[in-house]
Amino acid sequence: MSKQIENYFKANQALWDAKTPVHIESEFYDIPGFLAGNSTLREVELNEVGEVRGKTLLHLQCHFGLDTLSWAREGAIVTGVDFSQKAIAKAREMASEVNIEAEFVEANIYDLPEILLDKKFDIVFTSYGTIGWLPDLDRWAQVINHFLSPGGTFYIVDFHPFIWMYDYDLQKIEYPYFNAGVIAEENEGTYADPNAPIKLAEYGWNHPSSEVINSLINQGLEIEFLNEFPYTTWNCFKNLKEIGKHKYVFKHLGHKIPYMFSIRARKGNGIL
Ligand SMILES: C[S@@+](CC[C@H](N)C(=O)[O-])C[C@H]1O[C@@H](n2cnc3c(N)ncnc32)[C@H](O)[C@@H]1O
C-alpha cells in the first residue's frame, strides 16, 4: 500500500468517525426501531443472499453493525468488519444491548487476512456504499476469496456505477464512469443528515461494472447472477420520491436508470 493511499484511508477513517455519531442519532438509521426488533435488511438482499441460518457470515464495511446484527436475527453466525473505531464501538454496544452474539473487528478490510488469518466463512456479504471507498478491487476480491469456504457464497448489493457519474441530485455528469483514479472531495453533511456540521476531506474511486465482475472472476469465483434495479432501497440521495416500501426513484428520472446492482458468486468446492 503506498503512503498516499494510506493517507487517503486515514482521512476516510476520520470522516467515518465523524459521520458515525450523526448516523447513530439519525432517523435514517432508526436505532430505536432496530432495538424494538426491526430488521434493517431490505427485500433485495433477503431474497437474494440465500439461506443464512446456521451459516457463518462475514460482513465487510459493516458500519455500526445494524445489518450485521439483522443477519444474526435471521440465524447467521456473524462477524462484522469496519475501520471506523466509533462505528465498531457502537456495533459492540448494540450487540450486547440486544443480546446477540456477534464479533466485530476494527480493521481496514485490506488488512483483514493478517488479522483473522485462516478463518473461513460460508458467506461474505457487503452492501450499500462500499466499493466506492476502495482503490483496488483486485485486492478486494482477493480478500473475499481468502475468507470464503469452499462452496461459499459472496454477495454484494450496492449503488450502480451509473449513479456515481452524477452529482448528488443527478442533474449533471460530473465524474468518469471508469476508474480514473482517486476522486478527492470535501462534501458538507452526510446522506443520513445533509445539515450535519461535517465538512472533511474524502477520497473515493469509481468502479465500472466490468471492473467489479472481472475482479471476482479473476479469483476463480463463479458469478451466479448480476441484477440491476430501477430504484434504490435507501432514501440517501437528493430529489428522490418514494414509490413503495423501501423503494425510491429520482423525481425527474423515475425508472429510466439503474440505481443499484447485485452480484452473487460462488467459490468452487474443488470437486470437478
Ligand atoms: C456507507 S457505509 C456502509 C453502509 C452500510 N450498509 C450501512 O449503511 O450500515 C461505508 C462503511 O465503509 C467503511 N469503510 C470505508 N473504507 C473502508 C476500508 N478500507 N476498510 C474498512 N471499512 C471501510 C466506513 O467506515 C463505513 O462504515
Q: Identify the pLDDT of residue 116.
A: 87
Q: Identify the pLDDT of residue 269.
A: 85
Q: Among residues 131, 129, 159, 133, which one has the least CA distance to residue 232? A: 159
Grid cell digits, residue 246:
423501501
pLDDT band at 192 (very low <50, low <70, confident <90, very high): very high
Q: How far is the CA of 129 from the centre of ligand 1 (A)?
A: 7
Q: Is the CB of residue 87 below 6 angstroms from any atom belonging to ligand 1?
A: yes
Q: Identify the pLDDT of residue 272.
A: 60
Q: pTM, whole model, 2 decimals?
A: 0.98
Q: Is the CB of residue 156 below 6 angstroms from any atom belonging to ligand 1?
A: no
In this prediction, what percent of the chain has a pLDDT beyond 90?
95
Q: Which of 67-71, 88-92, 116-120, 177-181 has the lowest mean pLDDT?
A: 116-120
Q: Is residue 272 part of a domain?
A: no
Q: Is residue 97 part of a domain?
A: yes
- Residue 196 sits in a domain whose CATH number is 3.40.50.150
pLDDT tens string 75-108: 999 999 999 999 999 999 999 999 999 999 999 9
Q: Average model confidence (pLDDT) for the chain?
A: 96
Q: Which ligand 1 atom lies nearest to the CA of residue 129? A: 1
Q: Is the CB of residue 205 below 6 angstroms from any atom belonging to ligand 1?
A: no
- Total Cβ atoms within 10 A of residue 226: 13
Q: Identify the pLDDT of residue 32.
A: 97
Q: Which ligand 1 atom lies nearest to the CA of residue 126? A: 6
Q: How far is the CA of 23 from the centre of ligand 1 (A)?
A: 12
Q: How far is the CA of 4 from the centre of ligand 1 (A)?
A: 20
Q: Is residue 36 part of a domain?
A: yes
The CA–CA distances, whole Å, from 127 to 52, 99, 105, 175 equal: 16, 24, 17, 22
Residue 43 has pLDDT above 90, yes or no: yes
Residue 156: φ, ψ to 5°: -130, 135
Grid cell digits, residue 182:
482517486
Q: Is the CB of residue 125 below 6 angstroms from any atom belonging to ligand 1?
A: no
CA-proximal residue: ligand 1, atom 18 (nearest): 108
DSSP one-letter string for 143-203: HHHHHEEEEEEEEEEEE-TTGGGB-TTSSSB-S-SS--S-EEEEEESBTTBTTSS-EEEEE
Q: How far is the CA of 272 from the centre of ligand 1 (A)?
A: 36
pLDDT band at 212 (very low <50, low <70, confident <90, very high): very high
Q: How far is the CA of 271 from the centre of ligand 1 (A)?
A: 35
For the segment 40-66, the average pLDDT, to the nearest whole number, is: 98
Q: Identify the pLDDT of residue 1.
A: 79
Q: Is residue 271 part of a domain?
A: no
Q: Is residue 80 part of a domain?
A: yes
Q: Is residue 88 part of a domain?
A: yes
Residue 270 has pLDDT above 80, yes or no: no
Q: Is residue 150 part of a domain?
A: yes
Q: Is the CB of residue 84 below 6 angstroms from any atom belonging to ligand 1?
A: yes
For the segment 38-60, the average pLDDT, to the nearest whole number, is: 98
Residue 271 has pLDDT above 80, yes or no: no
Q: How far is the CA of 224 from the centre of ligand 1 (A)?
A: 25
Tell me the β-bridge partners of 199. Answer: 188
Q: The domain containing residue 119 runs over which residues? A: 3-266
**In total, how many domains does the chain have?**
1
Which residues does 67 contact at the CB level (< 8 Å), separation at least 6? 40, 41, 59, 127
- Total Cβ atoms within 10 A of residue 142: 16
Q: Is the CB of residue 128 below 6 angstroms from any atom belonging to ligand 1?
A: yes
Q: Is residue 123 part of a domain?
A: yes
Q: Which of 98-102, 114-118, 197-201 has the lowest mean pLDDT?
A: 114-118
In this prediction, what percent of the chain has a pLDDT beyond 70?
99
Q: Identify the pLDDT of residue 169.
A: 82
pLDDT band at 44 (very low <50, low <70, confident <90, very high): very high
- Total Cβ atoms within 10 A of residue 193: 17
Q: Is the CB of residue 127 below 6 angstroms from any atom belonging to ligand 1?
A: yes
Q: Identify the pLDDT of residue 168.
A: 83
For the segment 24-40, the average pLDDT, to the nearest whole number, is: 96
pLDDT tens string 162-183: 999 999 888 999 999 999 999 9
